[in-house]
Chains A and B, each alone.
Chain A
């Protein structure tokens, strides 16, 4: 049985072939990670595995065995929103909100590897995500705000 860590908690998955997205959503009840296309094209299922963004809909549990997985539920600490989450609230970067967890996970990974990304780097990091409500301008601003918050923690 593959062992992994989900949001800091050790877990044992029932089956190496279990789809990671289904495992997170239906077996662990972590439904903040969404299903959108099942083909890795829309980004709503994005989670972090050892800090790297990954499309969980295209991945089996076995493929991430031994890894540390972070989902949207694992970002906030002690009830305090993660700076990227806070920035999405501050910029009102959402409409229906279905895609937002995926965007936040990729943006978090981006800021972890590049604290002060250029606008082009933000767009590139989020280019494989879709927001059908079209809130891209706000998402862009939110990620830039989160980067600014990190450099100038007021």
Chain B
């Protein structure tokens, strides 16, 4: 069983280990938590240590979204302690409550709320302890800066540390504990610096690429030359002779060189002679649009109302267009890496995954051991954007460490990261609309064909937010020659590109300004709010496109948050430069406005890459541009000036801020390109279609 951690003194707030995404109880019931009572299914969410400083536990992973700081802010707010006294323990399966994974912008909305309740419960308990100590009723006491003070007589107070000295209190989380209201906030809702910023500018922040253990071997793993290739035979006899090579592993599908240094392992791998049987006839990038249509199956209707037949009959005009987005790479700056160590039948794996508990379950299954014997630690993660849920190097490192009897490190090269990660699915989307001469949309039919066997990827954001009486939106699952996977907003970006481009095409058809056309069809107050805010910040002036100004607009909804943006661009030859973006986000209560703005800025830059340049090229089961020489991503020279307005109502519960910013970008760019040039581009990336 797990080691017992020393955080058992002070005041601990415990609650059900699994919240958020519904989890089958058995996934955590079998595992004892190190930070809670043996045999209990409850985990510790928060402990106020005897010195009065809190430590919060969360299964979330820090991969750039600033969640460690956001959660610390929420705890400090509710517990009334200085922000710098809060410690947040993340993503170590031995130390934190079970968690499904860090995706879908759930960290603030669910775990943040849970920790606020835990901190509010602790505050209530501290008030009760102080009432006894000071012999005053609770309603005459208040918490401030780590102390409980009498509201009537400021000289009568007691510190949390004094209240908790020599105590060991465990209290159930009180779902009804009174939370601070927006008007009372002293920390939340105000821009706050990240608590882990200094570690990031000094090189102290430790990523899984940086983990080193005594006696650790470096692995170089043989990868197939093409997808689905089978190893026929292999000669490692020369590789084995190289100095530094400790072991050559050939175990099932896994062939790896284990050496004392990284370069020795890589050199050895270069000397391996392998013969492969490749799988012929794998589709190329050029086959994609046809393949998406011809292989479509499993129609899923995401939105249906009224009668399309009636709607199209009532329309003055009907417009049909087709949009296409290619496969793109998440391309996080940190390629995956993992270190594994076996000690007395217990496995510890460091892996920068978004899903440490999921990887733990996979490893337990692979080695047929109890989950309690596996510890997965996700250190700082150098970006993922959805891709780092699957984590093959964790499996490889664990298997190799077991065979070698020493800790083993498996780290992807850039080429491995780009070829063996997952890709945002290619998608083809047909839109047919019927509208009146005044721009009122009366019929909307959309069919989206998304590559990959996980149909929910394509459904996100496929429904139209416009008030259309007759509507049918369907998505299909289509074959994927590449491994489709998660990406910021999943299919939301593709679906928004299609819908928001088509909205502009309607505006052109009826001779309306694109903001006006949208407002004419929008009744939802929060959508109207972000659109009006973005237009106002941008200084939008009404005109019909193409106005030759190069301005574009689009809006969207993702993870419950509303977003709109206006931008301006210029084109020299085939090079598009987006100069300025004004965005508005409504994610309800914003815990840390600077953190939310940072996420929207980053989402916009990432969206510009997929809009303008990014596409995975592949042929014959091989990615042709698996490096930055041939896969262009935005640089500082391509970055626009971005203004983000956060317009959420603080009384509305928090929704996500990490993903929504990307969904309108590609359409806003395509619309601005049309506005500048009169050329309508319906296929990404846009720059391939210019000139």
Contacts and interface: CB of A to CB of B under 8 A. Distances in A.
Contact of A41 (B204, B381, B382, B627): B627
B201 A81 contact: yes
A44 B193 CA distance: 23
A73 B414 contact: no
Interface string B627-656: 111000111110111100000000000000
A97 B635 contact: no
B675 interface: no
Interface in A47-80: 71-73, 75-76
Contact of B636 (A36, A98, A104, A129): A129
A89 B197 contact: yes
A22 B635 contact: no
Contacts of A44: 333
Contacts of B205: 97
A145 interface: no
Given A22-B263, A32-B203, A32-B204, A134 B383 contact: no
B201 A89 contact: yes
Contacts of B549: none
Contacts of B62: 96
Contacts of A139: 636
A75 B635 CA distance: 25
B598 interface: yes
B410 interface: no
B201 A127 contact: no
A133 B383 contact: yes
Contacts of A96: 62-64, 332-334, 380-383
A98 B383 contact: yes
Given A38-B413, A97-B64, A134 B202 contact: no
Given A134-B604, A136-B636, A34 B202 contact: no
A13 interface: no
> Which of A30, A35, A73, A126 has the most C-beta atoms of chain B within 10 angstroms of its own C-beta?
A35
B331 A132 contact: yes
Nearest to B661: A134
A85 B209 contact: no
B541 to A, nearest CB: 25
A26 B628 contact: no
Given A34-B209, A136-B636, A41 B629 contact: yes
Interface residues of A, number: 57
A127 B637 CA distance: 6
A85 B498 CA distance: 42
A99 interface: yes
Contact of B197 (A42, A71, A92, A132): A92
Contacts of A39: 414, 627-629
Interface string A121-152: 01110111111111111111000000000000
A76 B333 contact: no
Given A22-B262, A132-B331, A132-B333, A95 B207 contact: no
Interface in B583-620: 594, 598-599, 601-606
Interface residues of B, number: 60
Contacts of B206: 31
Contact of A71 (B198, B203, B641): B203
Given A39-B627, A76-B202, A34 B334 contact: yes
B601 A135 contact: yes
Contact of A22 (B261, B383, B605, B633): B261
A116 interface: no
A65 B233 CA distance: 43
Nearest to B331: A132
A113 to B, nearest CB: 18
Contact of A135 (B65, B198, B602, B633): B602
Contacts of A133: 64, 333, 383, 602, 606
Interface in B360-406: 380-383, 385
Interface string B49-82: 0000000000000111110000000000000000
B263 to A, nearest CB: 6
Contacts of A100: 200-201
A132 B383 contact: yes
A153 interface: no
A98 B333 contact: yes
A134 B603 contact: yes
B220 to A, nearest CB: 13
Contacts of A97: 64, 196, 199-201, 205, 380, 382
Contacts of B196: 97
A31 B212 CA distance: 10
A141 B204 CA distance: 23
B335 interface: yes
B622 interface: no
A101 B205 CA distance: 10
A37 interface: yes
A44 B212 CA distance: 19
Contacts of A81: 198, 201-202
A14 B637 CA distance: 39
Contacts of B194: 92, 94
Nearest to A44: B333
A134 B414 contact: no
A94 B196 CA distance: 10
A128 B637 CA distance: 9
A17 to B, nearest CB: 8
> Which of B198, B201, B209, B599 has the most C-beta atoms of chain A within 10 angstroms of its own C-beta?
B201
B622 to A, nearest CB: 18
Contact of B382 (A29, A98, A123): A98
A25 interface: yes
A123 B263 contact: no
A122 B635 CA distance: 12
A94 B602 contact: no
A49 B380 CA distance: 28
A104 B598 contact: no
A73 B637 CA distance: 27
A72 B203 contact: yes
B210 interface: yes
A127 to B, nearest CB: 5
> Which of A38, A96, A133, A136 has the most C-beta atoms of chain B within 10 angstroms of its own C-beta?
A96
Given A32-B203, A72-B203, A89 B627 contact: no
B198 A89 contact: yes
A96 B66 CA distance: 8
Nearest to A99: B333
> Which of A30, A31, A32, A133 has the most C-beta atoms of chain B within 10 angstroms of its own C-beta?
A133
Contacts of A131: 333, 636
6 contacts: A42-B414, A95-B65, A97-B205, A123-B637, A130-B633, A131-B333
Interface of B: 62-66, 193-194, 196-207, 209-210, 212, 218, 261-263, 331-335, 380-383, 385, 411, 413-414, 594, 598-599, 601-606, 627-629, 633-637, 639-642
Closest 5 CB pairs of A and B: A32-B203, A134-B605, A96-B64, A98-B382, A97-B200
Given A96-B380, A98-B332, 18 more contacts: A25-B210, A26-B262, A31-B210, A41-B629, A72-B203, A94-B200, A95-B66, A95-B383, A95-B598, A96-B64, A96-B382, A98-B383, A122-B636, A124-B637, A130-B635, A131-B636, A132-B385, A134-B606
